[in-house]
Structures are given as C-alpha cells and as structure tokens.
Amino acid sequence: MSLTYTAYDVLRNLRAVSNMFFVAVLPAVLFVLFGVAQGWSSASLPGGNVSAYVMVSMAAYGAITATTGIAGSAAVERLQGWGRQLALTPMGTAGYAATKVTVAMTLAVVPVLVVFTVGLFTNAAMDDLWRWVLSGVLAVVLSSVFALYGLAAGLIFRSDAAVGAASGCLVVLGFFGNVFMPLSGGLLEVTRFTPVYGIVGLARYPVTEGTVTTMDGIQTDSVWLLLANTVAWALVFGAAALLASRKATARR
C-alpha cells in the first residue's frame, strides 16, 4: 500500500466538488431543514433530542453515499485496466484494494464530521459525550456495508454512469429506510427489511435506544433486529459482488 497514492486519491476525491456536495454538503443542508428549522426538533428522546436524531440520520446517509461511490469507482477502474497498470508497480493488487478501503472510510468520516459540527453549533443535544462518539463511529463503520453495494454495482454494470445511478438510488433507499421522514403502518413494517434501515437504526441507537416515533404512536426496535438487518444485507451485497467479480474475471 502506497501512502502517497492513498493521500493523492483522498485529495482527488475531496476536490471533486460535485461528489462532495452530495456526500457532505447536502446531508448538512437536510439536517438544517429537518433537524434545526422545525419546531419539534427540541423534543426529547431517550438519549438526546429529535435534532440529534436527524443529525445522525443525515450523517449516516452521507457516509453510505461516500462508500458507495468510492467502491463503485474502484471496481470500474479495475475493469477498465487501471488495476492491471497498478499491478506492475510495487503496490500490487492487494495494496490497491487496501488503498481504496482506506480512501472510502476516510471520506465516510467527512460527512459525519461536517453534519456533527453543524449539530454541535445548533440545537442537537445528546445526554452524554459517549453517545456522540458512538453514533459517529457507528455511522462510519456501518457504511462499509454499502461499499459492497457500490462494488457490486461497479462490477455488474462496469461504467461510471451505473455507479452514479447506484448512488442516486440511495435517495430512494433512504426514504424507505426511514431516514428522511418517519414512516408508519404497513409501510414501516416493510421498511424494516430494507438495506438502510438497520444501518441508520444502529447509528441512531445511542439517541433513540430503539424508540421509533410514528404517526400511530411509539414503537421499539430491538438492537438484534437492527443487527440482523445489517448482517443480512452485508451478506447479500457481498455475495453479489463476489459473483460479479467471478463473472468479470471469466470474461477476461
């Protein structure tokens, strides 16, 4: 693994203004709209307030957008021959993979830092410092599940446009993952089986302690339900990426 190449790749992605807008700026704007400007943002939850709930939701959404884009782009680069070019260098294939993992997780930190900073200077509140830290760490670490999603999209469709479309689909997945607005009734029951629900639910757990506010009243999510959702989708995305990788190798 080349630290120089890793630093260059991080800076290259940070300079991509359009990408960073959707990764960091848009989640911060959405947080201000839904977590600061609304009158109910100061309402209490078991570990904080509603503003903190929205803050963590937007930070997690930004993190999964970052890992999806980086992993998908890495797959496309490799299929287009850049991986073979780097294999001729001392870094090799394993170093290239380690570099992309490092870049993806580094960029996943950016939206969390940006949104949490905005929350800190507005009205987001959590009862303890460890809740802030744990929520941020969970948002970053769990976003790695969507690196597998981005990798599968890049390997299957083999184009930057497809990776962009996969990133765009995160808006729909976020809506059905109970990220942008509280769902209720039968739609909420279906939502519990969608990919984003478990990840965002776990990231918000220090704030909610499993509490889910709906139009029909208060419900509770078990941490085991959220973990099962996250692990199941990680296996699905991982299997899809593995199969796509084998097919791409066979074609070559």
Which DSSP symbol is given to 33?
I
**Residues sharing a CB contact under 8 Å with residue 148, sequence separation 6 or more, in sequence order:** 71, 234, 237, 238, 240, 241
Q: What are phi and psi of 195, to 5 degrees?
A: -65, -35
The two most distant CA atoms of the chain are separated, in Å, by 60
Residue 111: Cβ within 10 Å count: 29
Per-residue pLDDT reduced to its tens digit, 127-176: 999 999 999 999 999 999 998 898 888 878 777 777 788 888 999 999 99
Domain boundaries, position 87: 3-251
Q: What pLDDT does 166 receive?
A: 84
Mean pLDDT over the full length of the chain: 87
- What is the model's pLDDT at position 142? 96
Question: What is the full per-residue pLDDT of the chain (252 aa) written as tens digits?
Answer: 678 888 888 898 899 888 889 899 999 999 999 888 777 788 889 999 999 999 999 999 999 999 998 888 877 776 666 666 766 777 666 677 778 888 889 999 999 999 999 999 999 999 999 999 999 999 999 999 998 898 888 878 777 777 788 888 999 999 999 998 888 888 888 999 999 999 999 999 999 998 887 767 678 899 999 999 999 999 999 898 888 777 755 555
Quote the Cα angle for 27-28-29, to 5°.
90
Counted domains in the chain: 1
| Sheet strands (E) in the chain | 44-45, 48-49, 211-214, 217-220
pLDDT tens, 235-245? 999 898 888 77
Tell me the pLDDT tens digit for each residue of 64-76.
999 998 888 877 7
- The Cα 107–Cα 208 span in angstroms is 26
Beta-ladder partners of 218: 213
Residues of the chain with pLDDT > 70, as a percent, come to 90
